[in-house]
Structure 1
Amino acid sequence: MSPPPARPADPIRWHLLLAAVFAVLCAIRLTIPSKPYFDEVHYLPAARALLDMSQALNREHPPLGKQAIALAMLLFGDNPLGWRAMPFACGVLALFAACRAMWFASQSRAASVLTGVFLITGFPLLVQARIAMLDAVMLGFVMLALWMCAGAVREHETARWRLAMAGAALGAAMAAKWNAIPLAMVPGLAFLAARVWQAKGQFLTTKRGWPIGGMTLWEAGIWLGLLPLAVYALSYWPFLLFADVPGNPTGLIDLHRQMLDLQTQVLAPHPYQSQWWQWATNARAIWYLYEVADGAQRGVVLLGNPLSSLAMLPALVWCLWAGLKEGRRDCLALAVLYAVSLGMWIVAPKPVQFYYHYILPHCFGMAALALATERLWQRNERLVPTVLVGGSAVLFLWFYPILTAAPLESDQDFLHYAWIEGWR
């Protein structure tokens, strides 16, 4: 008898180490500035109103992200730690879950570890995990859902509970921020497309075939369709208890009509607004903070790593090619996830957009870069992978002070980091 095929050992210890390193990097100066900055001024009043059930504030966004911030404030107090503890925790979860998702999708130890390295050194995940905004909360649930979906495809015996967790996480992601809605549709549609392709007329009843043997399409529809919608709807429970809900919606549908009107209203131009092509080329940054705070000149800038954020573009092209020509499902999945999450903002009727809307596509691009770097190494290419990993790490260390509100020497220190006009 032939021996069983070799299977690489699960690198979960490396993933835990990367998550711990990321947590330490995020925790440094987490409570600085000690007053709300940037969009915290919108979400913290909404969280306080949730705690006393006085009024529904910040109604243009769904409520779960603000509930998460309010929960941390209840646990740690109405202070900088309480404000930022939940985005911090969700950011660490996103990093760990992304590594796990890559492992189950590719069965590559190197690619899963590189995914964590590129996400840590990529800038946006770190910045968003340190501020009381909704993006890190959404991202944590999205990555958890993708981890569970990839695990279900890899280990069919665990598929039922994994898809249940994935569905709940997808609903929570949508309930944190609407950015997740297009992505929440991808797992269910992928399952449907795979079954129709393989089973033809029996696609509704068969349990055979990819992506999960032993599960029918209708059952997958419960976990990936109905459950996310139920979790999303349940997140609106505070609207039954608020003393005042502006607009007096007559129900959930009317409330969503008002939310959509708020999202698409024409706003005055913002000095930091940008377009999708500026995000992809890393041409426009946002200064969340640049002022004297807590006794020193400090700054926090949101932009992408100057090396990896551009290198991921050819990596995504390669992923699309490898997915279509070589049948690499892991590569194709990343190309699709990037296209869906970015495509939303190309067609969205929201008139004013910002770089932080790019965080989901950016994370998928970092994962694509991990796969491409691994492929180059397998082909005995050493220079480019070394430059990508080492160069990204060096740039991360250089920019780290301006990503984490470190004390600066003068009010002109931003010139050390604003290399192009669009970063000023």
Structure 2
Amino acid sequence: MTRPPSCAIPAAMLDRLEERPILLAILIGIAAQLLFTIGLNRPSILNFDEVHYVTAARVLIALSHAANPEHPLLGKSLIALGMLIFGDNPIGWRALSTLAGTATVVGVYVLTLALTRATRPALFAALFTMLGQMVFVQARIGMLDVFMGAFLVCAAVAFVNAMHGTRRGAAMTSWTVTAALLGASVAVKWAAVPYVAFAAIAFLWLRRGHPDRFGGMPWLTGLAILGGISIPLYFLTFAPAFFYAQNPLTLAKLIPFQLEMWELQTQVLAPHNYQSSWWSWPLMLRPMWYFYEPDQGAVRGVLLIGNPAILWGGLVAVLACWWAGIRQKAGVPLAVAILWTFSLGIWAIIPKSLGFFYYYYLSSIILCIVLAVAFHHWRDSVKQRDDWFLVLCVALFAYFYPTLAALPLASDRGFERWIWIPSWA
């Protein structure tokens, strides 16, 4: 079918790139890495929760004692690795985060390509992820969520490869990689635990009536691999704690320490100015100013806020995918709609006393896939209007960019330009 002229992506260029998906993935990765890296030294001082995680990374480098004990060690170890390579400075604090952000964008592309078997929705899903602003901000700060997200997106890619595997050996290899990546995600943050359970349930459900999926791997073998790889890998990431100068971890303390982490995770915290309820996150009622103060001779701000076109438009896409899945029996739209709903719904039951908008990070990534899948499924109706939607996304990203990348603002009240509703202040 001949494409009409496109305002955003020339049809001839896309035709050529569709024939070279690996090249397109490389180009997407280069673009994402450049976008996330430019101006990475802004702000020049610790930004929001970097005060916890960069400090904990410094302690890990020194192997002096336990710090930030409510979270596992892998994410903080990755921040520490960046600091060992690039130094204890803003680049070192955030360098590995940019790589995780790039891996997330490329992973979204590969995952959407595997789901739809079409390059256009895969490309748009990756672009939505780059322009959605949530990944951009988290890829430029030394926090844990970007690492957890990268591991989970890559685990989803490996899961789909395992599901489509026709030879048992290849399927088991992909499934083993899935298990390892899921274990790594939990080793960054316990918020990934529900996704391990989701993967196990999805594995059993997808095999139901289709025993040839996953290369015909028996269900018991699959569950054994999932648990036998993810759990030991999770515990292995605590290895640095065995070498602390003060109160080192021991095998006898390893399990009790998990109980201490649970108590810290579920403790009742004092109210916070930026707290918000899980149901409000899709509506973007309470974004978060990660940073707003003088730095490098100017007032600068970092606002964690989603691209309104993507986060609000994505909600329409979720409804469209649910409709396509239930009324039209469309498997891929239904799958991504279920995944997004699950990713948000778990926060209704996770025992956290306070919620924050950045907890919506994973859901916002899934929403980018939902949006691209919806455009692809309804392509005969929208008739390439996804190009115009992409132009809107680019324009909004450019509009918010000064408050995403900590550019100099005009005055102490410069933030008011981006306050659409009072709760954004």
| TM-score past 0.5 threshold | yes
SS of the counterpart of 2:45? coil
Partner of 1:391: 392
Partner of 1:349: 351
What is the CA distance between 1:16 and its match in structure 2?
2.1
- Quote the Cα distance in structure 1 between the aligned partners of 2:230 and 2:326: 30
Q: 1:128-169 deviations in whole A, cap 9, x for unaligned?
A: 000000011111111111111112223434322222211111
Q: How do 1:316-335 and structure 2 match up within 5 A?
A: 316-335=318-337
1:363 paired to 2:365? yes
Query: Which of 112, 131, 154 does residue 121 from structure 1 map onto?
Result: 131
Could you tell me whether the CA contact under 8 Å between 2:148 and 2:188 is conserved in 1?
A: yes
Query: Which of 46, 49, 73 does residue 59 from structure 2 map onto?
Result: 49
SS of the counterpart of 1:361? helix
Partner of 2:270: 268
What is the CA distance between 1:244 and its match in structure 2?
2.8
- Quote the Cα distance in structure 1 between the aligned partners of 2:223 and 2:64: 38
Could you tell me whether the CA contact under 8 Å between 1:249 and 1:255 is conserved in 2?
A: no
Partner of 2:39: 29
Q: How do 1:150-229 and structure 2 match up within 5 A?
A: 150-157=160-167, 158-195=170-207, 197-198=208-209, 208-210=211-213, 212-229=214-231
- Quote the Cα distance in structure 1 between the aligned partners of 2:171 and 2:250: 42
Q: 1:80-118 deviations in whole A, cap 9, x for unaligned?
A: 111101111111101101110111111121110110111
Partner of 1:14: 24
SS of the counterpart of 2:308? coil
Partner of 2:109: 99
Query: Which of 121, 125, 130 does residue 140 from structure 2 map onto?
Result: 130
- Quote the Cα distance in structure 1 between the aligned partners of 2:192 and 2:65: 26
Could you tell me whether the CA contact under 8 Å between 1:43 and 1:133 is conserved in 2?
A: yes
What is the CA distance between 1:298 and its match in structure 2?
0.8
- Quote the Cα distance in structure 2 between the aligned partners of 1:81 and 1:53: 22
Partner of 1:402: 403
Could you tell me whether the CA contact under 8 Å between 1:298 and 1:406 is conserved in 2?
A: yes
1:70 paired to 2:83? no
Query: Which of 303, 313, 316 does residue 315 from structure 2 map onto?
Result: 313
Query: In structure 1, what residue type is equivalent to 2:224?
Result: I
TM normalised by structure 2 equals: 0.91
Of 78-87 and 145-154, the range deviating more from structure 2 = 145-154
Aligned Cα RMSD in Å? Answer: 1.9
Could you tell me whether the CA contact under 8 Å between 1:10 and 1:109 is conserved in 2?
A: no
- Quote the Cα distance in structure 1 between the aligned partners of 2:244 and 2:329: 52
Query: In structure 2, what residue type is equivalent to 1:198?
Result: G
Unaligned runs of 5+ in 2: 1-17
Change (3 A) 1:183 1:417: same
Q: 1:45-102 deviations in whole A, cap 9, x for unaligned?
A: 1111111111110011111100111111111111111110111111110110111011
Aligned length: 406
Could you tell me whether the CA contact under 8 Å between 2:277 and 2:355 is conserved in 1?
A: yes
What is the CA distance between 1:261 and its match in structure 2?
1.1
- Quote the Cα distance in structure 2 between the aligned partners of 1:269 and 1:137: 27
Q: 1:290-342 deviations in whole A, cap 9, x for unaligned?
A: 11101111110001111110111121122223233433332222122212221
- Quote the Cα distance in structure 2 between the aligned partners of 1:112 and 1:356: 25
Partner of 1:90: 100
Of 117-126 and 147-156, the range deviating more from structure 2 = 147-156
SS of the counterpart of 1:301? strand
Query: In structure 2, what residue type is equivalent to 1:79?
Result: N
SS of the counterpart of 1:156? coil
Query: Which of 304, 307, 332 does residue 306 from structure 2 map onto?
Result: 304
Query: Which of 230, 233, 256 does residue 232 from structure 2 map onto?
Result: 230
- Quote the Cα distance in structure 1 between the aligned partners of 2:355 and 2:226: 29
Q: 1:249-294 deviations in whole A, cap 9, x for unaligned?
A: 9523211111111112121111111111221101111001111101
SS of the counterpart of 2:378? helix
Partner of 2:153: 143
What is the CA distance between 1:246 and its match in structure 2?
9.4
What is the CA distance between 1:10 and its match in structure 2?
5.5
Could you tell me whether the CA contact under 8 Å between 1:188 and 1:225 is conserved in 2?
A: no
Percentage of identical aligned residues: 37
Query: In structure 2, what residue type is equivalent to 1:150?
Result: V
- Quote the Cα distance in structure 1 between the aligned partners of 2:261 and 2:382: 53
What is the CA distance between 1:226 and its match in structure 2?
2.1
Could you tell me whether the CA contact under 8 Å between 1:69 and 1:83 is conserved in 2?
A: yes
- Quote the Cα distance in structure 2 between the aligned partners of 1:359 and 1:296: 29
Could you tell me whether the CA contact under 8 Å between 2:242 and 2:249 is conserved in 1?
A: no
Query: In structure 2, what residue type is equivalent to 1:420?
Result: I
What is the CA distance between 1:13 and its match in structure 2?
2.2
Unaligned runs of 5+ in 1: 1-7, 200-207
- Quote the Cα distance in structure 1 between the aligned partners of 2:402 and 2:166: 45
Partner of 1:109: 119
Of 335-344 and 291-300, the range deviating more from structure 2 = 335-344
What is the CA distance between 1:368 and its match in structure 2?
0.3
- Quote the Cα distance in structure 1 between the aligned partners of 2:144 and 2:308: 25
Of 277-286 and 13-22, the range deviating more from structure 2 = 13-22
Change (3 A) 1:332 1:224: farther
Could you tell me whether the CA contact under 8 Å between 2:133 and 2:306 is conserved in 1?
A: yes
Change (3 A) 1:269 1:19: same
Could you tell me whether the CA contact under 8 Å between 2:333 and 2:377 is conserved in 1?
A: no
What is the CA distance between 1:225 and its match in structure 2?
2.6
- Quote the Cα distance in structure 1 between the aligned partners of 2:233 and 2:20: 31
TM normalised by structure 1 equals: 0.91
